[in-house]
């Protein structure tokens, strides 16, 4: 599968989160070309401040001896918490749908040896832009802004 096909699956996860009343941020974890886990932001749904899309995806992946052969696809540039977790688990590559609406921590990931691909996916950009415009309070809560 291509980057776009995997990103489309992450986007579908984001849309699930939105349909559940949460933030539209989704992720998929790939190993050897196959999806091993999916997740989406569940902060609102679960009342859990650390239930970001990447964190939910890793939770759904379950315990693993190693993440060294995986690639994380995420619709939005990861926050510091998610970036730190990616580095902690030694996930070698992250493919990001967009960093226009939230620039996240791309340099931090790269400076810690993670290969980063930024797709600038128009569907991801539009989805987040619309959500932020319609839900500024929820968005600011998610990124810990006043």
Please identify every residue annotated as catalytic: 54
Tell me how far CA of residue 23 lies from CA of 53, 57, 88, in angstroms.
9, 14, 25
Instruction: State both tokens at 58.
Output: 């890793």
3-state secondary structure (DSSP) of residue 27: strand
CA distance 54 to 26: 7
CA distance 60 to 74: 15
């Amino acid at each position: 599968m291509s980057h776009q096909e995997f990103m489309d699956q992450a986007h579908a996860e984001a849309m699930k989160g939105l349909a559940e009343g949460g933030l539209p941020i989704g992720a998929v974890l790939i190993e050897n070309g196959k999806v091993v886990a999916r997740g989406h932001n569940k902060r609102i749904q679960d009342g859990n401040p650390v239930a970001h899309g990447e964190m939910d995806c890793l939770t759904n992946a379950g315990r693993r001896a190693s993440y060294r052969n995986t690639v994380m696809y995420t619709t939005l540039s990861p926050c510091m918490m998610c970036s730190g977790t990616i580095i902690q688990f030694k996930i070698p590559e992250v493919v990001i749908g967009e960093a226009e609406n939230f620039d996240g921590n791309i340099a931090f990931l790269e400076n810690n040896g993670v290969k980063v691909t930024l797709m600038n996916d128009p569907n991801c950009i539009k989805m987040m832009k619309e959500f932020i415009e319609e839900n500024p309070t929820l968005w600011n809560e998610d990124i810990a802004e006043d």
